Homo-oligomer: A and B are copies of this chain.
């Protein structure tokens, strides 16, 4: 007789009954394969990531705001204090503007005739449809807003999105709509939003075109790199956990994870890595499609103390399925937290990191990581038999950089 019953829960789900709530369904019947991972993700997020003062960063890729997930899930998570900072593709922020500006998107089909759509002036994002004017009006909105004096300088993308969010919020008020836009909600809640590829989106395209005129607006990428690292450093050095919640992958994922190597290896500051790691993706490591790769790789990069492997869950499923379920689960199981309003502390956090850097960093090659030998002696006995990733989330985090 094995010791299975001591280590693992019995797999005997309840029969599904009518009118069950989302959180109960997940807890009672999502037991294995990606269903099991999604249940673990729900519990990791609810029980650990948003527990106490834990700081949660969220990265957004894929067509989330066009699919309505800004309004249905991301804004509610922000309002509940469950998302403290964000790195997004430009596309998700550009299409978020449509919602904030009261424009209309439609739930269409991926199987329409694109030539026909073109003739009718209809734009398609997979199965989301809208009029061509939605693009033109949004473009003009961006161009007009960034002519204001407050935009005539180089600035981090968090500052740019904060300032842009205020205009969106104003428009929402005039239109009498609310809770529609991630940018507007972020402005109101002080949630910093970064983008890892500031030129890559219609927002960036319009900013670039205006730079051919007299606009002085330029995204300060260096500030973004250091500011995101500063948020993580502030969390960790104040004793809070730092968690990453990754939807999709791509450049925003990598930008979020590289905060730890930026602190440790480039700046030479002793740090131990993100505490919790949660990803919903359909990308695969073996094809090179999973940008930043698996949490496992991160251990080899030396950012994780093998004795203290943080929790980690990767669920291979569509964000349009996983995110509403996870949001519903978290809102049902956990009371809202007071938003941290990290944007208001941005200069403080930045200066703190800068001071730490000047204390530890240097231009020449840094010395070998001191913790390597420490870890070696401490973790040896346990590491060998330990599972690579624990099912309840005890696992390696991803602090990969490239």
Contact = CB atoms under 8 A, between A and B. Distances in A.
A38 B320 CA distance: 10
A321 B125 contact: no
A213 B122 CA distance: 50
Contacts of A213: 363
Contacts of A287: 33-34, 62, 282, 316, 318-319
A197 B225 CA distance: 11
Interface in A115-165: 115-132, 135-137, 139-140, 143-144, 147, 154
A265 B204 CA distance: 13
A169 interface: no
B10 A387 contact: no
B136 A289 contact: no
Contact of A120 (B3, B119, B201, B369): B3
Interface stretch (A14-22, A49-57, A235-243): A14-22
Interface in A18-37: 18-23, 25, 28-37
B385 A113 contact: yes
Interface in A155-194: 179-180
- How many copies of this chain sit in the oligomeric assembly? 4
A299 B114 contact: yes
A335 to B, nearest CB: 9
A254 interface: yes
A262 interface: yes
Contacts of A23: 19
Nearest to A384: B384
Contacts of A342: none
Given A302-B132, A363-B210, A126 B4 contact: no
Interface in A52-79: 61-64, 66-69, 71-73, 75-76
A154 B218 contact: yes
A391 B107 contact: yes
Given A28-B72, A200-B251, A289-B282, A205 B35 contact: no
A293 B73 CA distance: 23
17 contacts: A10-B104, A12-B105, A18-B332, A34-B321, A36-B107, A37-B286, A111-B388, A114-B299, A118-B299, A119-B375, A123-B300, A126-B285, A140-B366, A196-B200, A208-B225, A282-B283, A287-B318
Given A115-B386, A212-B358, 6 more contacts: A15-B75, A29-B72, A33-B319, A63-B288, A67-B288, A221-B221
Instruction: State the 5 A-B residue pairs at the shortest beta-carbon distance, nearest first.
Output: A91-B402, A35-B320, A62-B288, A208-B225, A32-B67
